Structure 1
């Protein structure tokens, strides 16, 4: 069985944001963006779709993924390829200007797509969004809307890759990457932890016993990973392979392991039990 046989038409969620540990690791922000580029290049080339929950900021990872999807479509002459789906949680899009959402959706047509969700995680179209007034969400609305989006993404994706991630100045009940990783673990969705770039992904790897803790960094919800310590990740990799994946800063090595795991794991098997909102 080839990688394309496994990944064609599969949806792979990616969780990432800036890592506070890059300077201490001798890395720069460009290394994290290069890693995202390699993840996108491999998965898109093998027929998969990348799924991301972003906020459309100008220098954010959503924009990087959109550029990569457009480049892949151009380079492969694939005229019907929608390579990236960007979920917008209710608290994210409800505070944005309608014209910005309309323009972004139009610019992405044919290469990527926006999926707007209501506060309970149900999809709404742009036309329905036009009927809603712009507003500033409260903290409880942020927490509810983001968690609902992450449950929806869990139900509609086949595996998740996490790397980097900040653990402060976040919205919601816990750091976003941590919450998404926790949902994957709880639902036995294949989870690939690239901890070599530090940040929240490294913390998750430590919390479940893949790596020894150098200096435990506390953040809300970290204790929820305790029950998964020493247990398999259901991702097709051995414990030793997962330890390498959780520690290597070399994206080429990490991608070999991710693709090996995706080939061996039972993609989509968790969907029968995942919570849909």
Structure 2
């Protein structure tokens, strides 16, 4: 696989399909911590690439092993009787790669799974004994803690993973009010739990500040620790607690706040903000809540270290200003003051880069006032507007059980969220032709636009949505539009002239319940796609299904052909799966995939042959020989040049499984087109 960037870390998960009920919920729960929550797209969570490997046929192993995609790849291999007693799986495991920076973490979900350690690729490796806790009421908490620690140890810890003792443990600094209130009790409970369990090899929490003096010893501990600030009623009023937080902020250390207020706090200490917070009410602190605190501390340590490594890498790649100061969380004014004071720089000359997503407009008033340049890898306060009409051809697709495509479809949604945010923030109009169903991509795009409109505090932020007849005859669709009236401009596409006489009542909805009606739908969808593409300056394609569609061919394939024949700049995001991935493969190999043939489409889509027969008779069918000739003869150099990219960058876009890289390349191409002064027309 060709792609341009090599991120610091990728996580891979392999499991047998017969173990799915037992282990897939754990994998899903862990992934929610590793990837940005699509339900909270502006959250500041981890964004580590994750890849999934399994099969729909229990007797067969996955088709491919995890590839070397990052500087460090951590492969979680879930083992059981099902993997042990299956020769295909044993061969698959024994042939897993052995690269530098490629760590396999065996996880025995049954005791029998440990037998894999006797011979072969896993011989003498240390196994996670997941069977010890999977039946526990706290199985999810222990699973996330154990998996997170191995991800940290193999993926981000600069100490050799073979060091499993105190050297590789995460150092915790428990900051709390020193008198006998809730804070002290909670700190003692955490320390006692660590001392009396095998968590001691994960965390080193020997240092609970014993007195009232903030001396060099305490400061040195803070410089090398993750801080757990236990906020009790007395915490913010204690001078030494304030000093500990200020020191941690100055040293740019990971911090979590444990909110354990019982009654009232007269003033929240300002420095104890801009950090993750865990709410705890229980006293005495029970095992579940201690695990919640430790998970939060471990994940924030991972997020912090990953953010630094990722931003430094992007800086070396030229995405970020070479002189930029790297922050693992959004900047605070006190940190800027310290930078200016210590480095003798002018504040207006500083550039600060922090992880995605960008800050709210209200949060950047002070940076604008001081003319401070703030940025994320994909955005800068100095960015210019693009003012383009950008067509989006993005839709979901049916998963294949992670046999060939090894990403969850939520990566496509995550890409869509981030892409829409960055395009609209640069004052582009988005052109989309989609249906109006709950949880569909149209709703997804419009909700993102609604949130962004409020964040940017602008009066207009439009998405233009093209809707084919007969969809715009349904009153519920118009009510659906009404919910997003502040951001969407609907375009009702008229009935094509050649079928107008076939429709008895243009004001009535027509069900696609017979070949004749399906032909009418296909003509209307083609016209909608033609108008949508014609009104766009460029087209971005991602995802796309191959089956169960209502047009004369898969929708994204038709939109690609219309856009290509119209000489539009096209961005093919192939690494996120679906039809576009197969299209990219066909273009690169100059050999069309079987999925884009009449025979495959007829075999996999009920009623398609009847639709094609009617369409052929009337001269509006899908000509798959013409599609083959077009795709197999595409000049990749021309495709890249139209998009404002080098051929190397365009190939990276076609293959990259990474959301940030895909969006970076799209924005790079759009800026190049803008700088040329006009969209190319040849």
TM-score of the pair, normalised by structure 1: 0.83
Equivalents in 2 of 1:48, 1:141: separation in Å?
A: 33
TM-fit CA distance, 1:215: 6.5
Equivalents in 1 of 2:496, 2:587: separation in Å?
A: 29
Of the three residues 431, 443, 450, the one matched with 1:70 is 450
When residues 117 and 163 of structure 1 are mapped into structure 2, their CA distance, relative to the original with a 3 A threshold, is: same
Of the three residues 477, 480, 492, the one matched with 1:101 is 477
TM-fit CA distance, 1:30: 1.3
| 156-165 or 135-144, which deviates more | 135-144
When residues 21 and 242 of structure 1 are mapped into structure 2, their CA distance, relative to the original with a 3 A threshold, is: farther
Equivalents in 2 of 1:89, 1:217: separation in Å?
A: 26
Indicate whether 1:79 and 2:459 are aligned. yes
Of the three residues 129, 133, 145, the one matched with 2:524 is 145
The aligned residue for residue 228 of structure 1 is 634
TM-fit CA distance, 1:12: 0.6
TM-fit CA distance, 1:17: 1.4
* Alpha-carbon displacement from aligned partner over 1:211-265 (angstroms, at most 9, x marks no partner): 6879753344441422314451111112211110001111111111111111223
Q: Give matches, 1:83-162, under 5 Å.
A: 84-94=463-473, 97-98=474-475, 100-120=476-496, 132-137=507-512, 138-162=517-541
Of the three residues 426, 441, 454, the one matched with 1:61 is 441
2:542 aligns to what SS in structure 1?
Answer: strand
| 32-41 or 229-238, which deviates more | 229-238
Equivalents in 1 of 2:577, 2:590: separation in Å?
A: 13
Contact 1:164-1:199 at 8 Å conserved across structures: yes
Q: Which has the higher relative contact order, 1 or 2, with Cα contacts under 8 A spaced 6 or more apart?
A: 1
* Alpha-carbon displacement from aligned partner over 1:109-155 (angstroms, at most 9, x marks no partner): 2211221111239xxxxxxxx97122225121122111111111122
Contact 1:207-1:229 at 8 Å conserved across structures: no
Contact 1:195-1:246 at 8 Å conserved across structures: yes
Equivalents in 2 of 1:27, 1:212: separation in Å?
A: 25
Contact 1:20-1:198 at 8 Å conserved across structures: no
When residues 226 and 131 of structure 1 are mapped into structure 2, their CA distance, relative to the original with a 3 A threshold, is: closer
Equivalents in 2 of 1:197, 1:157: separation in Å?
A: 23
The aligned residue for residue 423 of structure 2 is 43
For structure 2, list consecutive stretches of 5 or more residues without a partner in the other structure.
1-381, 498-504, 599-623
Of the three residues 555, 558, 576, the one matched with 1:197 is 576
Contact 2:471-2:509 at 8 Å conserved across structures: no
The aligned residue for residue 250 of structure 1 is 658
The aligned residue for residue 259 of structure 1 is 667
When residues 184 and 3 of structure 1 are mapped into structure 2, their CA distance, relative to the original with a 3 A threshold, is: farther
TM-fit CA distance, 1:33: 0.5
Equivalents in 2 of 1:72, 1:38: separation in Å?
A: 11
1:228 aligns to what SS in structure 2?
Answer: coil
For structure 1, list consecutive stretches of 5 or more residues without a partner in the other structure.
122-129
Equivalents in 1 of 2:549, 2:597: separation in Å?
A: 10
The aligned residue for residue 125 of structure 1 is none
Equivalents in 2 of 1:179, 1:69: separation in Å?
A: 26
Equivalent residues, number: 255
Indicate whether 1:13 and 2:391 are aligned. yes
2:653 aligns to what SS in structure 1?
Answer: helix
Equivalents in 2 of 1:103, 1:230: separation in Å?
A: 43
TM-fit CA distance, 1:189: 0.3
2:596 aligns to what SS in structure 1?
Answer: coil
1:217 aligns to what SS in structure 2?
Answer: helix
TM-fit CA distance, 1:72: 0.5
TM-fit CA distance, 1:36: 0.3
Contact 2:592-2:632 at 8 Å conserved across structures: no
Equivalents in 2 of 1:93, 1:166: separation in Å?
A: 23
| 27-36 or 105-114, which deviates more | 105-114
Give the root-mean-square deviation of aligned CA atoms: 2.5
1:90 aligns to what SS in structure 2?
Answer: coil
TM-fit CA distance, 1:21: 5.3
